[in-house]
Amino acid sequence: MKTLVTLGPKGSFSEVCASIYLQDGYTIQLEHHLHHIFERLSNQVDILVPLENATDGFVYQTLDGLIAKGGYIIQTFNMPIHFACLGDLDNAKYLYAQFVTQQQCQRFLQKYHHLEVITTASNAASINYINHESVAIVPMHFIHDTYPHVDYIEDFSWNETRFALISTEQKLLSRNQASMIITPHVDRPGLLYDILTQFKKHHINLTAILSRPNKKTSKQYHFYIEMDVSHSHEEALQEVIYHIQKEFNVSFLGQY
């Protein structure tokens, strides 16, 4: 059975996503840093990583991993992300929460601004600090009856994270979206315009475009582009890649 590596510790949203959608096809292993997860990617190992959150946007460490290590996105999974505050809020002086969790619960933190917020390494670590004067923000699936809790404290009820299953082998499991990384060889006026013109010409709708610094060359960038191909012909996408490759380096990340 193939190995799947995802982000720990146990109980993380990544681990829950892997257990729900991929447990039957893989032996699941956990790493504690995205960099280490991408280092594990091989012919024998697929990886599951957070790609985009509805509140925070794209995960830059994942984009950097795709740029540095390559691989193909073969499937994505949307996981609802809900948080609760555990502990006695009426008597609390301190609130423990992981950094990303804080970003997605800003309204709750503003409401309880008198609490001293202490950042933890993980959601699993936060729960260990709960006592008579400390509360913690944790995922809803961490809730148990030992402590009082306030549920659904995330800023937006539709909060979710999209996870990407990445492999060294390209597999066409579905054809709704596609993505690629485009790396210019030189910087010049109109560079991005020329790239985008090809997608417009072939009637392909872009759903995301982000730039990431080229860590090998100063003041140059990679462009991560994601597109909706559910209503496009395969030939149109291949035409876009063909024309862009004449002037730019293109790393196609697959259709999914």
Rg (CA), the chain: 21
Instruction: For residue 71, count other CB atoms closer than 10 A to its CB.
Output: 23
Q: Distances in Å between the alpha carbon of 205 and those of 76, 80, 95, 198, 200?
A: 19, 26, 43, 11, 7
SS3 at position 156 = coil
Q: Distances in Å between the alpha carbon of 75 and those of 36, 51, 125, 139?
A: 21, 11, 30, 24
Could you tell me the pLDDT band of residue 115, with boundaries at 50, 70 and 90?
A: very high
| Confidence at residue 215, expressed as pLDDT on a 0 to 100 scale | 87
| Complete DSSP assignment for 175-210 | -SEEEEEEEESS--TTHHHHHHHHHHHTT-EEEEEE
pLDDT digits (tens, 9 = 90+) for 222-253: 999 999 998 877 889 999 999 999 999 999 99
Q: Where are the domains of the chain?
A: 1-80+158-168, 83-151, 176-251
The per-residue pLDDT of the chain, averaged, comes to 95
Share of the chain above pLDDT 70, in %: 100
| Confidence at residue 120, expressed as pLDDT on a 0 to 100 scale | 97
The CATH fold assigned to 83-151 is D-Maltodextrin-Binding Protein; domain 2 (3.40.190)
Distance CA(45)–CA(218), nearest Å, equals 33
SS3 at position 243 = helix
Helix (H) or strand (E) holding 95: strand 94-98
| Confidence at residue 108, expressed as pLDDT on a 0 to 100 scale | 98
pLDDT digits (tens, 9 = 90+) for 73-86: 999 999 999 999 99
Q: Same fold for the domain at 1-80+158-168 and the one at 83-151?
A: yes
174 has a pLDDT exceeding 80:
no
| Confidence at residue 146, expressed as pLDDT on a 0 to 100 scale | 87
97 has a pLDDT exceeding 90:
yes
Closest listed residue to residue 185, CA positions, set 253, 251, 247, 240: 247
| Confidence at residue 167, expressed as pLDDT on a 0 to 100 scale | 97
User: Average pLDDT of 1-27?
Assistant: 95
175 has a pLDDT exceeding 90:
no
| Confidence at residue 126, expressed as pLDDT on a 0 to 100 scale | 97
The CATH fold assigned to 176-251 is Alpha-Beta Plaits (3.30.70)
Distance CA(172)–CA(223), nearest Å, equals 23
Range ranked top by mean pLDDT from 4-18, 162-176, 186-200: 4-18
| Confidence at residue 217, expressed as pLDDT on a 0 to 100 scale | 83
DSSP state of 35: H
| Complete DSSP assignment for 36-92 | HHHHH-BTTEEEEEEEEETTTEE-HHHHHHHHHH--EEEEEEEEE--EEEES-TTT-
| Confidence at residue 219, expressed as pLDDT on a 0 to 100 scale | 80
CATH C-level class of 1-80+158-168: alpha beta
Q: Is 1 exposed, middle or buried (0-12, 13-18, 19+ CB in 10 A)?
A: exposed
Chain centroid to Cα 59, Å, comes to 5
User: Average pLDDT of 24-41?
Assistant: 96
